[in-house]
Amino acid sequence: MRATTAFLWVLPFMCFSAAAAEVDASLYGEWVPEQYACRSGVGIRLNAKGVTFINGAKRRTFPRLEAGYTFWGGARYKGIVVAVFPDTEDKPAPFVLHVNYGEKKGAALVQYPNPALRADFPFDDVLMRKCRAT
């Protein structure tokens, strides 16, 4: 299921510096595409070591992360969506993981413009669910 809108695709890659912070441990967990079983071997692991994309034996880890807690509405935003992204100089960012996507706890959406990530980890722009904390 694709959930992109033009707003979601363009905005995450503009600038994160204004609201960047540490990723809160309450967001850590194993995330899989909604239609996959938790033990499918496909998904994303978010923990203190970073974000790891998983597709069978393939792994790609981004160890340094930041989070945007006011990303969706500026300083007055009171919702629960958090944008998690790698702490990198690369522009656009290799990916953005929207945790609590759609103001739903335990939902996520990951987006990445990197063709290599898309080829190896086919869950760009796919709704995901949290299986367990890590």
Q: Tens digits of per-residue pLDDT, 75-98?
A: 778 888 999 999 888 777 889 999
Q: Which two tokens stand for residue 62?
A: 């981004």
In degrees, rounded to 5, the angle at the alpha carbon of residue 57 between the alpha carbons of residues 122 and 2 is: 10
The model's pTM is 0.80
| CA 83 to chain CA centroid, nearest Å | 7
12, 3, 41, 45: which is closest to 113 by C-alpha? 12
What is d(CA 10, CA 106) in angstroms, rounded to the nearest whole number?
A: 24
Q: Tens digits of per-residue pLDDT, 27-73?
A: 999 999 999 999 999 999 999 999 999 999 999 999 999 888 766 66
